[in-house]
Amino acid sequence: MTPGEPLIRWDWLGSHAGEIGQRVGEHLELTLIAVAVGFAIAFVLSVLALRVPRLYPPITWTTGILYTIPSLALFALLVPYTGLSLLTAEIGLVSYTLLILIRNIVAGVRGVPAEVREAARGMGYTDRQILWRVELPLALAVIFAGIRVATITTIGLVTVTALIGQGGMGYFILLGIQLFFSTPLIVGALGSVMLAVLADGGLVLVQRALTPWTHAR
């Protein structure tokens, strides 16, 4: 960085406000798609694992492997096939949400007290009704904990996708590094952190609204 240069140049912020807003939107869009698609896939796999318990180990094993691949390596691996595209970014982002989401959905449903399930069955609920009307609602708190972790992780990871031409706030981080210019770097990093904090807070509020029984007194 140039000596004498201030850490943040406020005039740069002012002149780039429009672009910052646009990148924030892009960041949120990448995150939302990743978590939504990830949740849809995780949900199907979880229901499968709950119905056929012996499928659970291979499912967690596979998604666990995906989770351990370094993000940079994964994007590099995908580029020859899917190019520098949104698809490449999302394949990576989605695959990192799966393990956390599946674990929490399965743990949440399995954590439903046995007597609640027994009573539901004894009163004439079908298996499908037990899943949708009893098990999933009661698992909501644990499922939401998973969604929160998946969302925060994804918001952080989105910055890495700047390397393949996506990236939201990651674009500014990359820009800062390339130009030895601290202002966009801080904007990108702080922006990403702030998005994570806000998203997490928002999810907590949604969860509280969806599970009124957990805080009734």
Partner 1 sequence: MPRCHAGAMAERRSATVELREVTKRYGDTVAVDHLSFTAPAGRITVLIGPSGCGKTTSLRMVNRLIEPTSGQILIDGQNILDEDPTELRRRIGYVIQQVGLFPHRTIGENVATVPKLLAWPEARTRARVDELLSLIGFDAARMRDRYPAQLSGGERQRVGVARAMAAEPPLMLMDEPFGAVDPIVRDRLQNEFLELQRAQGITVIFVTHDIDEAIKLGDRVAIMRAGRLVQFAPPAELLAHPANDFVAQFVGSDRGLKRLALLTVGGAELDPPVDPSRLDGAPVLSPAMTLRDALSEMLVSETQVGMVRDGDRYLGVLTLSHIGRVLRTEDRK
116 forms part of the interface with partner 1 (CB under 8 A): yes
Segment contacting partner 1 (CB under 8 A): 52-60, 87-95, 99-107, 206-214? 206-214
CA distance 195 to 207: 18
In contact, 197 and 188? CB cutoff 8 Å: no
In contact, 91 and 113? CB cutoff 8 Å: no
110 forms part of the interface with partner 1 (CB under 8 A): no
**Nearest CA to 10 among 172, 184, 193?**
184
Sign of the CA dihedral with 77 first, then 80, 82, and 88 last:
positive
Selected from 119, 177, 194, 197, the binder of partner 1 by CB under 8 A is 119
Selected from 32, 118, 198, 202, the binder of partner 1 by CB under 8 A is 118
124 forms part of the interface with partner 1 (CB under 8 A): yes
120 forms part of the interface with partner 1 (CB under 8 A): yes
Q: Pattern 132-171, binding to partner 1, x per CB under 8 A? A: --x--xx---------------------------------
CA distance 33 to 97: 11
Selected from 121, 156, 182, 193, the binder of partner 1 by CB under 8 A is 121
Tokens describing residue 208: 């509280």
Selected from 4, 6, 18, 122, the binder of partner 1 by CB under 8 A is 122
Selected from 7, 81, 113, 205, the binder of partner 1 by CB under 8 A is 113
Q: Which residue lies nearer to partner 1 by CB, 13 or 140?
A: 140
DSSP string, 194-214: HHHHHHHHHHHHHHHHH-GGG
128 forms part of the interface with partner 1 (CB under 8 A): no
Segment contacting partner 1 (CB under 8 A): 6-14, 52-60, 74-82, 108-116? 108-116
CB burial readout 77-93, b (16+ within 10 A) else e: ebeeebeeebebbbbbb
207 forms part of the interface with partner 1 (CB under 8 A): no
126 forms part of the interface with partner 1 (CB under 8 A): yes
In contact, 133 and 148? CB cutoff 8 Å: no
CA distance 117 to 165: 49
Residues lying near partner 1 in the complex (CB under 8 A) are found at 113, 115-126, 129, 134, 137-138, 211-213, 216-217
